[in-house]
Amino acid sequence: MNQPSNPEIPPATAFHPNGPKPATIPAALASDDEVQTASNTRKRKRLSRWFYVLCVAIASISVVVLVVLLVSIGIQGHSKISPDLVNNAHSELEPEQSGMRPAVIGSLLVCGICALAALPLGIGTAIFLEEFKPTHWWLRKLHGFIQLNIANLAGVPSIVFGLLGLTVFVYMFNLFGQIQVNKPSGLELFGVQHYYQVLSLEPGQTILIPQTDMEQKTITIDRPIQGMDADGNLFDIARWDRKSGPKPTDRSERLRTVKEGAVGGSYSQREWYYFRLPFGRSFLAAGLTLSLVILPVIIISAQEALRSVSPSLREAALGLGATKWQATRDVCLPAALPGIMTGAILAIGRSIGEAAPVLVVLGAAVAKNGGPENLMDSAVTMPVLIYNWAGRPQDVYQQLAAAAIIVLLIVLLVLNSVAIYVRQKVQSAS
């Protein structure tokens, strides 16, 4: 049965392109001109093409500048690219034979410390901020305050983090004593033994005497005292003077005998795990300072990766009875791992090229021509060595600086390639 029509609604009018415009069509469409529409379309397409050309031009300029820079560095430093550059230590006496082996080792160790400190802390912070958001009003305010500060820290200049690392890690607010040269400072926890070193009658051989008083820097052998052999066994040191007769002829006896009144200086024997507070100008302090630099980047990138995980995955896990931690550990983290690793790769790549924080913490000196021997030992890094060489006027150092930049780029590319390969393997496995 047909429904009666509403008298308040006007009857629908059939639309025809060449017919009259219906009264219900907006005025802008009713007065639309086909010529004007075509003109607007051409204008939009022209603007789109111009924007595309502008983007390509900007990208091309950036690539050209990068290529010119790389070619310039390659031309200047290609003569110094050789195995000796990586195998030899830097030397001011023989700059032609100078290399950067200690700097490569130092940079890798500093970046290793940086990664070990920053990755667990950054990823854990991102999980806490993103997956365990508080519900209480005050805690939500605190959560927002922390989130805002992390976002601001990502834009702080690295030199500021260097000053922070100098205060916190190097000196620790002078809570454990100030670092002094040739003096045990702060709180030495383990990995060090202090001795006096005295010359024996055997030429070139010394006797170690355990040091009990750290304030006494020298010792005079004018009384019976015990020394220590290479195996750590104590023995009584024999004393000899001209009045007592000729020197002993037996080598083992000469190794245990010193001149009457001989003076010995203090000597510290440190193991690789030597640890003290504060850290001083050590590569450990430099690595921890660099971890502060990249920590905001890792937190933000990990948070973005966790946000990209589909909420349905979390809801499905929680619906099956999993706790929030189980859903995070077994569902969210595996899904977000590629994004987290991408942020970590970019952050570690930034840390290996940072010079300002390392200069503040370790200083600009490159006198050390070997790798670190213990956790509290200093180190030379590649950016600092390049800074030192580039500041010298001689041509040989300019060539060495250019060659060192090439090596730094190669090391960075290798590290990134390895990290990308690991990320792909993890992504395919998950």
pLDDT reading at 360 higher than 70 = yes
Same domain, 286 and 157: yes
Same domain, 286 and 405: yes
| pLDDT given at position 2 | 45
| pLDDT given at position 32 | 62
pLDDT reading at 424 higher than 70 = yes
| pLDDT given at position 12 | 47
Work out the average pLDDT over 207-222. 86
More reliable by pLDDT, 18 or 47: 47
| pLDDT given at position 202 | 85
| pLDDT given at position 1 | 41
| pLDDT given at position 193 | 87
Work out the average pLDDT over 148-163. 89
- The DSSP 8-state label assigned to residue 21 in this structure reads P
Highest mean pLDDT among 176-185, 229-238, 240-249, 303-312: 303-312
Same domain, 316 and 400: yes
Same domain, 287 and 412: yes
Phi then psi for 420, rounded to 5 degrees?
-65, -40
Helices 101-131, 395-429: crossing angle, 10 deg rounding: 40
pLDDT reading at 298 higher than 90 = yes
Cα 248 to Cα 242: distance, rounded to the nearest angstrom: 11
pLDDT reading at 79 higher than 90 = no
CB 383 within 8 A of CB 366: no
Nearest to 325 by CA among 123, 134, 132, 119: 132
pLDDT tier, 5 (very low <50, low <70, confident <90, very high otherwise): very low
Residue given tokens 């082996």 in the structure block: 101
**23-27, 136-140, 272-276, 316-320 — which is least confidently predicted?**
23-27
Same domain, 409 and 368: yes
| 22 occurs within a structural domain | no
pLDDT tier, 295 (very low <50, low <70, confident <90, very high otherwise): very high
Nearest to 297 by CA among 115, 106, 134, 166: 115
Same domain, 133 and 68: no
Length of the chain: 430
Residue given tokens 């780029």 in the structure block: 409
| pLDDT given at position 224 | 86
| pLDDT given at position 4 | 46
Residue given tokens 């510290």 in the structure block: 268
Start-to-end C-alpha separation, the chain: 63
pLDDT reading at 3 higher than 50 = no
pLDDT tier, 7 (very low <50, low <70, confident <90, very high otherwise): very low
Work out the average pLDDT over 361-366. 84
Global pTM? 0.79
pLDDT tier, 42 (very low <50, low <70, confident <90, very high otherwise): very high
Cα 386 to Cα 125, 172, 350, 355, distances in angstroms: 35, 29, 16, 9
| 261 occurs within a structural domain | yes
Same domain, 214 and 333: no
Give the pLDDT confidence of 48-64 residue by residue, as tens digits.
999 999 999 999 999 99
Same domain, 288 and 201: no
Cα 195 to Cα 91: distance, rounded to the nearest angstrom: 31
Give the pLDDT confidence of 17-27 residue by residue, as tens digits.
555 555 566 66
Same domain, 332 and 297: yes
122: CATH = 1.10.3720.10
| 9 occurs within a structural domain | no
Cα 324 to Cα 26, 301, 397, distances in angstroms: 53, 21, 58
Q: What percent of the chain has pLDDT over 70?
A: 90
Same domain, 326 and 412: yes
Cα 313 to Cα 302: distance, rounded to the nearest angstrom: 18
Please identify, among 65, 80, 95, the residue that sits at the C-terminal boundary of a domain: 80
Cα 262 to Cα 251: distance, rounded to the nearest angstrom: 19
Q: Is 347 left (phi over 0), alpha (psi -120 to 50) or beta?
A: alpha
Give the up-direction half-sphere exposure of residue 174: CA atoms within 13 A in the CB hemisphere.
2
| pLDDT given at position 260 | 86
Please identify, among 275, 303, 336, the residue that sits at the C-terminal boundary of a domain: 275
- Quote the strand ranges of 244-394, DSSP E: 257-259, 262-277
Collapsed DSSP state (helix, strand, coil) of residue 129: helix
Cα 101 to Cα 368: distance, rounded to the nearest angstrom: 11
Could you list the residue range(s) of the whole structural domain that residue 63 is in? 29-80
Please identify, among 253, 275, 297, the residue that sits at the C-terminal boundary of a domain: 275
Phi then psi for 213, rounded to 5 degrees?
-105, 110
Report the chain's mean pLDDT, rounded to a whole number: 85
| 5 occurs within a structural domain | no
Number of domains comprising the chain = 3
| 383 occurs within a structural domain | yes
Highest mean pLDDT among 14-23, 110-119, 187-196, 369-378: 110-119
Residue given tokens 């006496």 in the structure block: 93
Give the pLDDT confidence of 269-289 residue by residue, as tens digits.
888 899 988 888 899 999 999
Cross-strand pairs, 236: 226
More reliable by pLDDT, 24 or 421: 421
Cα 106 to Cα 18, 67, 100, 215, 410, distances in angstroms: 81, 29, 10, 33, 16
pLDDT reading at 108 higher than 50 = yes
| 180 occurs within a structural domain | no
| pLDDT given at position 226 | 87
| 181 occurs within a structural domain | no
Cα 36 to Cα 42: distance, rounded to the nearest angstrom: 10
pLDDT reading at 9 higher than 50 = no
| pLDDT given at position 125 | 93
Cα 38 to Cα 44: distance, rounded to the nearest angstrom: 10
> What is the number of other CB atoms lying within 10 angstroms of the CB of residue 309?
19
Same domain, 285 and 269: no
pLDDT reading at 182 higher than 70 = no
> What is the number of other CB atoms lying within 10 angstroms of the CB of residue 63?
10
Work out the average pLDDT over 105-120. 92
Same domain, 240 and 255: yes
| 138 occurs within a structural domain | yes
CB 361 within 8 A of CB 373: no
| pLDDT given at position 350 | 83
Longest dimension (CA), the chain: 142
pLDDT tier, 345 (very low <50, low <70, confident <90, very high otherwise): confident
DSSP string covering 373-395: SSTT-----HHHHHHHHHTS-SH
Work out the average pLDDT over 248-269. 87
Give the pLDDT confidence of 372-405 residue by residue, as tens digits.
888 888 899 999 999 989 888 888 899 999 999 9
| pLDDT given at position 370 | 82
| pLDDT given at position 8 | 47
Q: Any residues with CB less than 8 A from the CB of 168 and at least 6 apart, and which?
A: none
Nearest to 261 by CA among 291, 246, 240, 236: 240
Strand 257-259 and strand 187-199: the pairing is: unpaired
